């Protein structure tokens, strides 16, 4: 059984998961608040786009947690959103640059 990832990896993964869940919660709340208002209508494309964004962030968090090779790239792409908040974005980007974070994605060499 694999042990728990380093703290920096867990923080980045949890941040992606929180953003993904916030998107899902925001869409659900908007739908609930506007479902009986005929002048505000969201089409299927709206739900597809926001659902895709939520899935992207949830997938990024999961790939980072398990150290999948594509997780590092996807984490950087998702991390662009955080740069609009310099205190959060800079901190997370520094974590993604750390040696612990980078080594989490390296595959062990085969003897």
**pLDDT tens, 47-61?**
999 999 999 999 999
CA distance 96 to 103: 10
Nearest C-alpha neighbor of 53 from the set 72, 81, 32, 30: 81
pTM, entire model: 0.89
Contacts of 73 (CB under 8 A, 6+ apart): none
pLDDT-based confidence at 69, cuts 50/70/90? confident
The dihedral formed by the CA atoms of 89, 64, 20 and 74, expressed in degrees to the nearest 10? 70
Place of tokens 């994605």: 105
DSSP assigned state of 87: H
Domain boundaries, the chain: 7-104
Supply the pLDDT for residue 111.
Answer: 67
């Amino acid at each position: 059984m694999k042990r728990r990832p380093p703290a920096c990896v867990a923080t980045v993964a949890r941040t992606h998961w929180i953003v993904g869940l916030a998107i899902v919660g925001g869409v659900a709340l908007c739908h609930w608040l506007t479902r009986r208002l005929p002048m505000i209508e969201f089409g299927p494309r709206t739900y597809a786009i926001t659902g895709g964004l939520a899935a992207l962030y949830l997938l990024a968090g999961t790939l980072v947690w398990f150290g999948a090779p594509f997780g590092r790239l996807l984490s950087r792409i998702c991390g662009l959103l955080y740069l609009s908040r310099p205190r959060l974005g800079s901190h997370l980007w520094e974590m993604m640059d750390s040696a612990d974070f980078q080594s989490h994605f390296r595959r062990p060499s085969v003897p």
